Amino acid sequence: MAKPTTFKNLDFCSTMEELKQHHAQIIKLGLSSDNDAMGRVIKFCAVSQPGDLRYALKLFASLPQPDAFIYNTMYRGYLQSQLHTHCISLYSHMLENSVTPNNYSFPPVIRACSDCGGATEGGKQVHAHMIKFGFFQDSYCQNNLIRMYARFKELEEARRVFDGMERKDDVSWTTMISGYSQWGCLDEALHIFEMMDVKNSAAWNAVIAAHVQNNRFHDAFKLFGRMIEENMEMDSFVAASMLAACTGLGALERGKWIHKRMESRGIKIDTKLATTLMDMYCKCGRLDKAIEVFDGLCIKGVSSWNCMIGGFAMHGRGREAIELLKRMEAEARKPDHVTFVNVLAACAHSGMVEEGRHYFSYMTEAYGIAPRMEHYGCLVDLLGRAGLLDRARRVIDEMPMNPDVGVLGALLGACRIHGNLEMAEEIGQQVIELEPGNSGRYVLLANLYAKEGRLEDVARVRKLMNDRGVKKVAGSSTIELAGRVCEFVAGGRAHPEAREIYAKVGEIVRRIRDFGYVIDSEGMLYDVGEEESENPLHYHSEKLAIAYGLLKTKPGETIRITKNLRVCKDCHEASKLISNAYDREIIVRDRNRFHHFKGGVCSCNDYW
């Protein structure tokens, strides 16, 4: 009777101290080598919270003949502790000691192989053992194999396992969809999805998330529309994916619709989903709505604070970002390294040099956060934008690590702003070699040469681009009207109302000339970093989008534009004048930040 009573007590054990008392009783009963008794003790130590994996390992080592159940328990313990190589080594130990694996042995070992870099061959051996021991048709094992091969980018092997399954469950389909999508094979992922007879919420989420993660936001919206038409209810996972799609397109109205649907369907907005919602509002130009969501949170995680501080940063509201940091500290929330990246970025976008330098030191002094590459990049950007190029260069020279392309690119951008060709030449060559496929790096340097009249050097840079097959990125802008997102490409005429839009651009240019507009002819000749040079500046993508917005909205309505590249000088000046001439607020989100144009001025104070 003692043995069952002892086991029953183990089931109600809640601390390691209690566990050790039961262990002592098991030893007194002479059961210290009994796999059934010790397996229960090891299970608590290895996989329960609070447990003690080291204690479990000591107990495991003391057993003369541990069985498959105990090995499986140890696999789970190693996985929970992210000790993938230990898990794989223990599997070898199992085979060496002639313990036969069962169907519960393979999934954790396969998962350990897939999560352990360089364990491809080991994973294939485990696959062979599954076949050898007769567990190949176990769906749980097969699903883990699909995941493993997808992680190794061996998609043909993953598909072979998938096609060979006698019974595919929901996990099989979604794992295969996710496997294709993580490597950008969206057509294949969609094909698997369409093969499903019954498409559950997990499958819808997988295929929608795949398109969002690969920046195919329009396709994600089409799939989402299909999902709603087929009466499949949106859950929190789909909501998060679609909010990310709204963020990518700057589709505020759609984002607000999804927010309302979340509320009407009773979807619980936890900290993670709330942060995604805040990010959407921040990046769609509605800081007030983001603040509303933030203030409504009962529990604010560090990610929520970081998101809101980052929102202030991208809108150039450095003072508010710092005030929020102080509020975070007052509420006893400890900032992390991301918090200070956002604070430093806020200072850089607002020209707050002394404050930025203070917080660069403060994060180490107050919280022991050593500066990472991102922090140095923000500091270089801060100093460079302010024209302190020599100081910025000194920061790079004194960094404890070699600067990456982001840090050097920040200094190169500052050289462009302040026309320092000498420094730009040196830094530009380094950046181009570090990131040879980024067209913007070549173009920026070529523009600086062009500005100085060094046309031979311009030709040399452009030849280097051609030789390497580097293509300039075309400027594009999107605008959302009545829930529909329209995209415009610089000089493009694909829109069905192109004739009216171009006529409106002509009207705009004539009107803002009365407000002092003079085209930046230098930009038209040389500034091909933001748009293709063969397109006149009048037809840059954001001008087309603004013209369309003026055609389709009423006086007093805000026009919101999202652009894939940095706003050029000419468009920035024109947008200020348009806001004055038409008495409109125009909000433009470019690659770096937000610009709020109203009454002839911009929120960035021409500091961008």
Query: What pLDDT is attached to residue 562?
Result: 94
pLDDT digits (tens, 9 = 90+) for 164-203: 998 899 999 999 999 999 998 999 999 999 999 889 888 9
Given a cut of 90, whether residue 292 has pLDDT beyond it is yes
Query: What pLDDT is attached to residue 99?
Result: 95
pLDDT digits (tens, 9 = 90+) for 230-279: 999 899 999 999 999 999 999 999 999 999 999 999 999 999 999 999 99
Domain definitions of the chain by residue range: 477-602
Given a cut of 90, whether residue 6 has pLDDT beyond it is no
Close Cβ partners of 208 (under 8 Å, ≥ 6 residues apart): 220, 223, 224, 227, 238, 241, 242
C-alpha–C-alpha distance, residues 100 and 102, integer Å: 7
Token pair for 323: 């005030």
Predicted confidence band at 521 (pLDDT cuts at 50, 70, 90)?
low
Which residue type is seen at 299?
I
Query: What pLDDT is attached to residue 447?
Result: 84
In the three-class reduction of DSSP (H, G, I as helix; E, B as strand; rest coil), residue 405 is classed as: helix
Query: What pLDDT is attached to residue 229?
Result: 93
User: Cβ(544)–Cβ(501) under 8 Å?
Assistant: yes
Given a cut of 70, whether residue 533 has pLDDT beyond it is no
Predicted confidence band at 291 (pLDDT cuts at 50, 70, 90)?
very high
Given a cut of 50, whether residue 41 has pLDDT beyond it is yes
Segment 528-550 mean pLDDT: 73
C-alpha–C-alpha distance, residues 245 and 237, integer Å: 13
Query: What pLDDT is attached to residue 9?
Result: 64
CA angle 222, 227, 233 (to 5 degrees): 140
What DSSP assignment string belongs to 544-591?
A: HHHHHHHHHS-TT--EEEEESSPPPHHHHHHHHHHHHHTT--EEEE-S
Tell me, rounded to whole angstroms, the distance of Cα 240 from its chain centroid.
12
Query: What pLDDT is attached to residue 453?
Result: 86
pLDDT digits (tens, 9 = 90+) for 435-489: 999 988 898 888 888 888 898 999 999 999 999 998 888 889 999 998 889 999 9
Token pair for 494: 């694909």
Query: What pLDDT is attached to residue 13?
Result: 79
C-alpha–C-alpha distance, residues 285 and 316, integer Å: 12
Give CA torsion, residues 595, 560, 319, 288, to 10 deg: 170
Backbone phi, psi, residue 263, to 5°: -70, -45
Close Cβ partners of 434 (under 8 Å, ≥ 6 residues apart): 404, 405, 408
C-alpha–C-alpha distance, residues 52 and 500, integer Å: 71
| pTM for this entry | 0.83
pLDDT digits (tens, 9 = 90+) for 468-477: 998 888 889 9
